[in-house]
Amino acid sequence: MNPPTGLSDAEVRDRRARGQVNRIPDDAGRSLARILVANTFTVFNGVVGGSFVLLLVIGSWQDALFGGFVIANTLIGVVQEFHAKRVLSRLAVLTSPKAHVRRGGHDVECAVSEVVQDDLLILRAGEQVTADAVVVEGDGIDVDESLLTGEAEPVAAGVGRELLSGSLVVAGSGLARVIRVGPDSYAARITREARRFSLVNSELRRSIDRVIRWISIALIPVAAVVLNGQVQAAGGWSAVLAPGAWRDAAISSIASVIAMVPAGLVFITSVALAVGAVRLSRSGVLVSELAAVEGLARVDVLCIDKTGTLTEGAMTLDRIDPIGASAPDARAALAWLAADPAANATSRAIGERYGAAERAGSTPVATVPFSSVHKWSAVEFSTGVSGGTWVLGGADVVLNDAPDSADVRARAADQAAAGSRTLVLAHSARPIPPARADGPRLPGGLRPVALLILGERMREDAARIVRYFDDEGVQICVLSGDDPRTVAAIARAAGLPADLDGVDARTLPADPSALVRAVTTHRVFGRVTPEQKKTMVLALQSAGHTVAMIGDGVNDTLALKCADLGIAMGSGSGAARGVARVILLDDGFAGLPGVVAEGRRVIGNVERLARLFLTKTVFAIALGLAFGAMLQPFPFLPRQLSVVDGLTIGLPSLVLAFLPNPTPYRRGFLRRTLRFCVPAGLIVAAATLAVVTLAGGLGLTRAQVQTAAVITLTLSGLWVLVILPRPLTRLTGAVVAGAYLGLVVVLSVPLARAFLLLELPPVGIVAAAIVISGAASLLLEVVQRTTGRPMFFRPRYRSGR
């Protein structure tokens, strides 16, 4: 039979013309132009940016200090999405730079993207399968599909077996005909779904975006009320439309509208997240998206793969159990069997105990290398204490025809059920028989000498981190492609419940509701396919859980993508790292508690900041509507409000954002924040309105009224700052004291008063402002004590079996 020659040049050109090439389309989200448009032309930017431009046009640049937040918020959104797009566009399941194919009887090298339908791929040990193909010719081909399927052991690939693109040839050689290329291939399907753009499921960002959207929508009718009020206060529309008369009304209206927008909240939240990401990077945790810092602090289910997470992915020889009273010396045989040039993980584990010292003085006359086809290896010695043939392999294969071996095979099966990998070492005085066409043959007269009990090497930090998450109320769910009995045993060794059983994922129901019940009542699953991992993560999410997924292989990619937070090992596949939001550079669990702590710090501090910013929004809206309804001038200039913001919010927020905060995550961030902000904002607004009304009734100048309003607003707003960082530390106490001192400086320095157009009112009005602000502070204490109780505690979910 003539060997396959592959496609001719004409056939290759024909397939290229028909588009049957192995190119994966780049469809990783929106273009840069669309990203810019989407983040620039928002309602928020329209209102705030329009106000900024209007102030510049009328020549009041001193009142346009808030414009920097528009630019900062837009840049944050653009940079974040564009960075994610670049990461996803580089994502690839196929990492091989070249493919080797046979065309016209010649072996040629070409780019992976130039492989065409029906090409003959040349399979070689150590190379990646670059397109979906079927083996048409082969000699002892073993393929590692662990990155794709989660199966830890290489599988034999005989003629007719389909190979998935992205798998790795670990032994043998041969030819495979390409059956799917480009977007139809397995690697492309995973890559396409993994490249789909999405943001981290962030409660902080979602809640802040919702508030900004509500405020943006409310600004239009509120701004109309405010504008009409300022126009009427200035003498009516006819008077305002006179040349130059509209300027003061416009500035007052803009001051009111801008005060309603928590412009710095998005900015300072992003800064807090960015600082958290920098802190984590110092401990070997890389965050690819800022919002991921808060993610793990909210998680209540942590899904992990066994290999590479609980275990290191390497085997270890736990013990050797002799069989029989007098067994020949097997050390030299084990040393030579472990020295197999094509040694797999099992042989390498044996080689860590038996090496060159045990091989000394013995030379084999024949060997049979291990293959996943026949599932055993052998070495033959002619003389010495180790003379004869030694065979190492699975008990059910090596002892299949051996008499009186049922007990040994049963012991091996029991060890496998306990999660260990078991091999039998057998000895025969006979030589290795000649091989036949279908492969090597076992010698007759084999007698079991020892059982080798191997286990996967546990990560040193696995048990500690499992215990940590259990204490934190986070349920750990193991999803693996290995035997469920083995997975359950490893999970128990890592600290999961001792009565825990593994579930074979092949038996899981297809019905969505039944699947949800299964994944919420069990914790360990084996024989899980990549698609099932994704489906199980979605099922947990549909049950109300916040799910994190840890993985390192291509088989984890879809689940990593769909999880609320994807976490990849640094040594994992490029596809896994590409879709993950957090990467553990040291490949261990040790960094996860730090991620939790950093996430808690960010969530707790941003909640404090949100209360500051949104309290300001509430009192600004209340004041705007009040003065608009009363047809009275708004008692602030934009520059004056900028200073008040700087004293009560801006500068303090830069400190509050970075304080330690170990408070556990509690659901209901937005509702809890609004419960405080709405009454607190109304109290501050009422105090300011009372002082302005009092000062206006005494016939004071507009500058004196504005100064009295600034004093009242700052003093009452600063009490919110006193409340939020409790218990006060030296640092937070210094921040509060500095803010009060800042007000004194602003009122005392003539240059500052001149820039802000402030004029000190009579002492009686100043005293009234202080007294009314004190009363407001007492009411704020009442609000804090009545609304500061936790509304939602993190629930502890069923651990299941």
Laid out side by side, the sheet with 524-526 consists of 285-287, 582-584, 565-569, 547-551, 301-304, 475-479, 524-526, 503-504
Is 305 tagged catalytic? yes
Tokens coding 475? 């349920």
Specify the pLDDT at position 711: 93
Contacts 24+ apart (CB under 8 A), 353-356: 353/317
DSSP run (H or E) holding 286: strand 285-287
Residue 190 has pLDDT above 70, yes or no: no
Place of tokens 């076992």: 442
Of 790, 300, 276, 351, the closest CA to residue 581 belongs to 276
DSSP run (H or E) holding 77: helix 67-89
Specify the pLDDT at position 683: 95
- Mean pLDDT confidence for 39-54: 68
Specify the pLDDT at position 89: 52
- Segment of 69-73, 138-142, 514-518, 592-596 carrying the highest mean pLDDT: 514-518
Question: Any idea which of 171-185, 237-251, 643-657, 752-766 has the lowest mean pLDDT?
Answer: 237-251
| pLDDT confidence band for 672 (50 / 70 / 90) | confident
Specify the pLDDT at position 286: 76
Residue 794 has pLDDT above 70, yes or no: no
Contacts of residue 609, defined as CB under 8 A and 6 or more positions apart, other chains included, come to 265, 268, 269, 272, 653, 656, 657
Angle at which helix 592-629 crosses helix 246-259, to 10 degrees, equals 140
Tokens coding 520? 């919420």
The answer to whether the CB of 478 falls within 8 A of the CB of 525 is yes
Rounded distance between C-alpha atoms, residue 689 and residue 687, angstroms: 5
Q: How many Cα atoms sit within 13 Å of 608 on the Cβ side?
A: 29
Rounded distance between C-alpha atoms, residue 217 and residue 514, angstroms: 42
- Mean pLDDT confidence for 650-676: 78
Residue 791 has pLDDT above 70, yes or no: no
Tokens coding 255? 């001051």
Rounded distance between C-alpha atoms, residue 680 and residue 784, angstroms: 9
- What is the per-residue pLDDT across 589-632, written as a single tens digit (0 to 9) for each? 777 888 887 877 888 888 888 888 888 888 888 888 888 888 88
- What is the per-residue pLDDT across 7-23, written as a single tens digit (0 to 9) for each? 888 999 998 888 888 87
Rounded distance between C-alpha atoms, residue 278 and residue 290, angstroms: 10
Of 492, 478, 471, 452, the closest CA to residue 353 belongs to 452
The rounded percent of the chain whose pLDDT value lies above 70 is 78
Q: What are the φ and ψ backbone dihedral angles of 302, each rounded to 5 degrees?
A: -115, 110
Top CATH class of 9-24+93-194 equals mainly beta
Q: Say which DSSP state 243 is in.
A: T
| pLDDT confidence band for 439 (50 / 70 / 90) | confident
Q: How far is CA 123 from CA 137, 148, 451, in A?
A: 10, 18, 35
Residues of the chain with CATH 3.40.50.1000: 285-310+460-585
Rounded distance between C-alpha atoms, residue 151 and residue 144, angstroms: 8
| CATH fold group of domain 285-310+460-585 | Rossmann fold (3.40.50)
- 474 vs 575: which has the higher pLDDT: 474
Residues of the chain with CATH 3.40.1110.10: 312-458
Place of tokens 């939790």: 596
Burial string for 738-751 (b: 16+ CB within 10 Å, else e) reads: ebeebbeebbeeee
The answer to whether the CB of 200 falls within 8 A of the CB of 288 is no
The answer to whether the CB of 109 falls within 8 A of the CB of 123 is no
DSSP run (H or E) holding 376: strand 376-381
Laid out side by side, the sheet with 376-381 consists of 311-322, 447-458, 421-428, 388-393, 376-381, 364-368
The answer to whether the CB of 312 falls within 8 A of the CB of 589 is no
Specify the pLDDT at position 715: 92
Angle at which helix 484-493 crosses helix 406-417, to 10 degrees, equals 60
Average pLDDT, the chain: 78
Tokens coding 136? 């048409």
Residue 327 has pLDDT above 70, yes or no: no
Radius of gyration (C-alpha) of the chain in whole angstroms: 35
- Mean pLDDT confidence for 32-60: 69
Rounded distance between C-alpha atoms, residue 715 and residue 719, angstroms: 7
- What is the per-residue pLDDT across 67-93, written as a single tens digit (0 to 9) for each? 666 676 677 667 756 665 565 455 444
Q: Report if pTM > 0.75.
A: no
Architecture category of domain 312-458 in CATH: 3-Layer(aba) Sandwich (3.40)
Specify the pLDDT at position 537: 93
Specify the pLDDT at position 204: 73
Angle at CA of residue 450, ends 444 and 456, nearest 5°: 120
Question: Any idea which of 237-246, 490-499, 786-795 has the lowest mean pLDDT?
Answer: 786-795
Rounded distance between C-alpha atoms, residue 704 and residue 638, angstroms: 16
* Amino acid at position 759, single letter: E
Q: Which of 119, 142, 305, 587 is catalytic?
A: 305
Residues of the chain with CATH 1.20.1110.10: 203-277+596-787
- Mean pLDDT confidence for 154-173: 78
- Cα–chain center distance at 673: 26
* Amino acid at position 775, single letter: A
Q: Is 541 exposed, middle or buried (0-12, 13-18, 19+ CB in 10 A)?
A: middle
Rounded distance between C-alpha atoms, residue 584 and residue 629, angstroms: 57
Specify the pLDDT at position 365: 87
Tokens coding 438? 């279908």
According to DSSP, the β-strands at 106-111 and 547-551 are unpaired
| pLDDT confidence band for 574 (50 / 70 / 90) | low
Residues of the chain with CATH 2.70.150.10: 9-24+93-194
- Segment of 78-87, 218-227, 670-679 carrying the highest mean pLDDT: 670-679
| pLDDT confidence band for 195 (50 / 70 / 90) | low
The answer to whether the CB of 586 falls within 8 A of the CB of 241 is no
Top CATH class of 203-277+596-787 equals mainly alpha
The rounded percent of the chain whose pLDDT value lies above 90 is 12
